[in-house]
Structure 1
Amino acid sequence: MELIEAAQMWHTDGFVVLPAFIPADELGAAVRELPAQFPTAEGFHDGTDRRRNRYIDDEFAGIDTFPFTSTELSLLAVSERLLELAGTLLGDDDIHMYAAESWAKYTGACDYDQDLHRDYLNHTLLVPSTAPGCRQVEMFVYLTDVPEELGPPHLVSRRHTDHLPAVPNWFLKPGQASESRYTDDSGSPELYAAEVSGAGPAGTVIAFEPGTVHRGTGLTAPRGARYSMQVCFRPASLQWGQRVGWAVRSFSPEWSAFVGRATVRQLQALGFPPPGHPYWTEETLAGMALRYPRLDLSAWETSA
């Protein structure tokens, strides 16, 4: 699918599924490093990986936050392909990645089957907007194949949700009750009837908006494991879209390893000023050389 066509679908439906968008050769290095970050399917199900207990009884326990143990995985989160997709969808070349997580799930570890919901409550201080320059995009990136039995997300087109108010945010499955103003406990049969599966092969990218109604589904494959990333982008000027502040992680070994191998564009997507910005002076360049000894500063030096 051409990026322009993908953007049209994203604007119309609130999401677009791009099967195998990232080719196998671009995934390979990150996938080979996954066992350093997460148990393999065998290690989890055979009980031979001592990290196993972390994933039991908590659907979110399998999340690691950027920068990752795997530098290759960190670089993949801001790969040229994903940055180009985000820029096209958002209609802006100056974009920032405001969150990135890698996620491992294992059959039987816990119940991953969620109620339909929207993500905006912890992705923006405001409410979702469709105005140009005011949108955010989330992406699910499949590191391995995610068929239906390995719990792909299900999503509902904006064609079925445009009438919904900003609150409530969660739409509970039938048989549940809640008194929270953020939940609708009517059973929402029309929404569940309209959901579509995001199943796809390794490299599939699902781009959606924080205001898109969706949910995670359960893993049923025997001895199954699912590995994915969630990366989130916004225009640099959109200050109310936030989830993680990178500075709090910027003195970790993982961050330094990432910075030492990242391109200028990748670092700009994390908040580094571009070449030619007034920030770059002899003083700051000297300081950056001390802080990041493996960072090639030549692009910024020539513009200082």
Structure 2
Amino acid sequence: MDLKDATRTWLTEGFVILPGFLPAEDLAPAVQELDLMFPTADGFHDGTDPRRERFVGDEFAGIDTFPFASTRISLLAVHQRVLELAEALLDADVHLYGAEAWAKYTGACDYDQDLHRDYLNHTILVPSTTPGCRQVEMFVFLHDVPEELGPPHLVSRRHTVDFPAVPNWLLRPGRESTFRFDTPADPSLYAAEVSGAGPAGTVIAFDPGTFHRGTQLTAPRGARYSMQLCFRPTGMEWGHRVGWAVKSFTTEWTEFVSRATPRQLQTLGFPPPGHPYWTPETLAGTALRYPDLDLRPWQ
């Protein structure tokens, strides 16, 4: 599927699944560094990795936030093909407003979710279909994710286009809640789910207004490793999740900056070459802050 076809599908369905979108040769070096962040499947299930207990009992406990202990995985979050996809879908220069790496293990906890949209913690407003005002999330599989390793399931916008912004969670049959963002779901919506299962390098791009959910890992001694990336048009200030400055003095951030391209750094907030920000004063200061960064593109 080329980027034009991917964009048409994303606009129509609310998501697009791109199997093996990232090349294996680019994925492999990053995957080799997963153990810097997470236990292996054997380390978790055999109890030999001292980090094991962190992942037990909470479906979100397996999340690491950008920048990662693995610089190669940090760079994968702004891989050229990922940026090209985000720019094509949004038809704009893009800003990376969230990036997480996520490890899940069979039996660690309950990963089976209710259908929901993500917009509540991705914008202070509500999703928009206006060009220039959209956001896109991506799941990136760092290894093969068949159905028994809990791929996300998604529901086409064709089934939910008339749904109001509130409530947001569509509860599975038998579940009840008084929370104003919850409501019982029509079982037909769960029957309409599409599985995102796919090989390593698969990218699932979806709108924060698209209903989707996480599913259970059932493979014996299974482990699933993925990333979740979030992009918005550069000037869309009401779409946000984290601020990068809070981690910008860490060793992980400094190592990432020293190895990233100007285009990748622009995605995280660096002004582009030629911007008025770049003066002898700021160049000298940036050289002190990032001594291994080649500043020639900005001079």
Q: Which amino acid aligns with 1:265?
A: R
Letter in 2 for 1:269: T
For the residues of structure 1 that align with 2:186 and 2:152, how far apart are their CA atoms?
A: 18
1:69: which partner in 2?
69
Structure-to-structure mapping, 1:205-284, within 5 angstroms: 205-284=203-282
Q: Which residue of 1 aligns with 2:133?
A: 134
Give the equivalent residue in structure 1 for 2:21.
21
Cα deviation for residue 191 of structure 1 reads 1.1
Structure-2 residue corresponding to 1:111 = 110
Match of 1:190 among 188, 191, 196: 188
What secondary structure sits across from 1:279 in the alignment? coil
Q: What stretches of structure 2 of length at least 5 have no aligned partner? A: none
In the TM superposition, structure 1's runs of 4+ consecutive aligned residues that sit over 3 Å from their partners are none
- Tell me, yes or no, if structure 1 residue 172 matches structure 2 residue 171: yes
Deviations 1:81-103 (A, max 9, x none): 100000000001x2100000000
Deviation at 1:42, TM superposition (A): 0.3
Deviation string, structure 1 residues 140-168 (Cα, Å, up to 9, x no partner) = 00001000000000000000000100000
Q: Deviations over 1:260-297 (max 9, x none)?
A: 00000000000000011110000000000000001000
Q: Secondary structure at the match of 1:288?
A: helix
What's 1:162 paired with? Answer: 161
Distance, in Å, in 1 between the alignment partners of 2:36 and 2:71 is 11
Q: Deviations over 1:4-31 (max 9, x none)?
A: 0000000000000000000110101110
Partner of 1:286 in structure 2? 284
1:232 aligned counterpart, secondary structure: strand
> Aligned residue for 1:34?
34
* Paired position in structure 2 for 1:152: 151
What is the identity, as a one-letter code, of the residue corresponding to 1:107? T
Aligned mates of 1:294, 1:59 — CA distance in 2: 38
Distance, in Å, in 2 between the alignment partners of 1:89 and 1:276 is: 26
SS state of the match for residue 44, structure 2? Answer: helix
Looking at structure 1, the residues matched to 140 and 130 of structure 2 have their Cα atoms a distance apart, in angstroms, of: 26
Give identity over the alignment, percent. 73
1:154-213 Cα offsets, whole Å, 9 max, x none, are 00000000010000000010111111110012x321211111100000000000000000
What secondary structure, in the 3-state scheme, does the structure 2 residue paired with 1:299 have? helix
Give me the whole-angstrom Cα distance separating, in 2, the residues matched to 1:90 and 1:294.
33
Question: Residue type of the partner of 1:132?
Answer: P
Separation in structure 2 between the aligned mates of residue 134 and residue 196 of structure 1, nearest angstrom: 26
Residues 225-269 of structure 1: CA deviation (Å, up to 9, x unaligned): 000000010000100000000000100000000000000000000
TM-score by length of 2: 0.99
Q: Structure 1 stretches of 5 or more lacking a match?
A: none
Q: How many residues align?
A: 299
- Measured in 2, the distance between the counterparts of 1:139 and 1:282 equals 38
* Cα distance in 2 for residues equivalent to 1:235 and 1:96: 6
**Distance between the aligned counterparts of 1:116 and 1:56, measured in 2?**
23
Counterpart CA distance in 1 for 2:175 and 2:129 is: 32
Secondary structure of the corresponding residue to residue 282 of structure 2? helix
Counterpart CA distance in 2 for 1:73 and 1:162 is 35
**How far apart in 2 are the matches of 1:181 and 1:61?**
26
In structure 2, C-alpha distance between the alignment counterparts of 1:79 and 1:100, rounded to whole Å: 13
Matched residue of 2:158: which SS?
helix
- Where does residue 56 of structure 1 map in the other structure? 56
**Matched AA of 2:95:** H
Quote the RMSD (CA, aligned, Å). Answer: 0.5
SS in 1 for 2:226: strand
